[in-house]
Amino acid sequence: MGAAALILVVAGCTQGADKPTSDFKEADGRAAAQRWVSEEFTPSTLSKDEQLAEMEWFMKAAAPYRGMQINVVSETITTHEYESRQLAKAFTEITGIQIKHDLIQEGDVIEKLQTQIQGDQNIYDAYVNDSDLIGTHSRGDYVLPLSDYMAGEGKNVTSPTLDLDDFIGISFTTGPDKKIYQLPDQQFANLYWFRYDWFTDPDIKKQFKDAYGYDLGVPVNWAAYEDIADFFTNKVNGDGTIDGKKVYGHMDYGRKDPSLGWRFTDSWLSMAGNGDPGIPNGLPVDDWGIRVENCRPVGSSVTRGGDTNGPAAVYSLTKYVDWLKKYAPKEAAGMNFSEAGPVPAQGHIAQQIFWYTSFTADMTKPGLSVVNEDGTPRWRIAPSPHGAYWKEGNKLGYQDAGSWTLLKSTPQDRRAAAWLYAQFVTSKTVSLKKSIVGLTFIRDSDIRSDYFAENSEKYGGLIEFYGSPARKQWTPTGTNVPDYPKLAQLWWQNVATAVTGETTAQQSMDNLAKQQDDILSRLERLSRSREGYGGQCAPKLNPERDAQYWYDQPGAPAPKLTDERGKPETLDYDKLIATWKQGG
């Protein structure tokens, strides 16, 4: 293994040292740019002349790297499939740089990234990995901060039309030091999904109001969501059926699988009201329940000032398990993320509190029972309802931001060529078309384009959501989490025992909080033994004290509420959308 690693390192260095050869001709590159802009990269927020000028810059900047093959990797979703299949080919034809864009599972991306970091060997020249790792990247010494790179080593290969201010997720990839560490490549949120046709059916609306005393609509809080789940599962038409078919008021997944961890770390606790107000993440306590002082993580457990095992967190896990067992199809408990995702398209789910918009493209295919004959959806998306502990100013949901990351272990010339490709696939020339294909928006200019203004009805409220101020309450994991890979794997293991009944919700969250604190403690020791690790933002655990001390302090952790249900509240969807369109 040692010899193999040495060969890899030498090979990487040799590739970087040798002058690449290429028979690329600029005339061919310009012809390719003309063809791609005319036939594929349309529509665009740029004029055709502006697109061609942007492509001309890429062609010129790529000159020193022609003939090289650059290796990059991302997870397997529709957006990245488009990049690997179409954009890599276009980039090669326009610039002369060969691109091998691998698609693997998200967990495997992280594994490759960690292997490269720990072995200091160049496996890939650039990675698209979630901005959830921002707290990890900003505390390590292996990622090249893009702010530094663009101003220094990479200045000549940084596009003058990059326009960082146009990226809607740039705050997600910014560290506590205010440096940008990653460049967003795709984004999607988890939102509330529901059958608009059922919710607006006069007979169904009357049945609901007769049963619960208020109007059927988009649930604002978990009490209303629970009532709606009960209504469709058990009471609609007297037996929980519509058109003679059994329906369900909730959909989720519960298999013991790493994706069960995403189900929770992707802001489920913040939706319940865990942590403190603050966008993009709660401060001083974030949506993982981790408290920071300045930028130092100081604890997860309530006894250290954290909120991972506080009443709001226990409430969030309790509701998840209850709803999964009472209101979802029986088979949901044995499903993982990818298996559960397509289920609402089958036509028997009334609502889903936690639905990833990455499934939007698959939910708009002609012929589905959830799509009208004219191609418009019978479903809509809206803001997720919040739990009883939620406070104004808390984040309300999760937004994934897969982002380009450059490592210091990558040879300089290979890094430069990979950075050109990263900018190419996020450039204004291609980003609108990429957004249409994958519906994972990264640029504000694309969201506000004429194309989406004219076609918004096809996407069930997605365009209105991204064009509204509401989207700012949906954010990824923040900088309080100092080692995402190590901490994230704890979640699915502890949540799973609550699903199976091996532990109570309180026991699961107590175990999780303690295990997180154990890792924070190890990172604290590492910061003392390895000079420079984490810097001023390295973990430093608070001493334990009585939980009541922290409940008596302002903010999180909050003491247990006497009423964890509250008064159910719903909104009329069409009025909500009208408010969004007016900028409210």
pLDDT, residue 106, reads 86
Ordered by where they begin, the domains of the chain are: 26-188+402-473 (3.40.190.10)
pTM (2 decimals)? 0.91
In angstroms, the CA 257 to CA 107 distance is 11
Q: Which residues, at least 6 apart from 190, have a Cβ–Cβ distance to it below 8 Å?
A: 266, 267, 354, 355, 356, 357, 384, 397, 398, 399, 474
Give the DSSP per-residue string, 552-563. Answer: TSSSSSPPPPS-
- Looking at residue 5, its pLDDT comes to 40
> SS3 for 357-405, per residue?
HHHCHHHHCCCCCCECCCCCECEEEECCCECCCCCCCCCCECEEEEEEE
> Contact at 8 Å (CB) between 259 and 425?
no
The pLDDT, as a whole number, for residue 530 is 66
In angstroms, the CA 123 to CA 499 distance is 38
Can you list the residues of the chain whose pLDDT is less than 50?
A: 1-17
pLDDT, position 531: 60
Count helices and strands in the chain by DSSP H and E runs: 24, 13
Radius of gyration for the alpha carbons in the chain, expressed in angstroms and rounded: 25
Please give the pLDDT value at position 359.
87
Q: What is the pLDDT, as a whole number, of residue 508?
A: 98
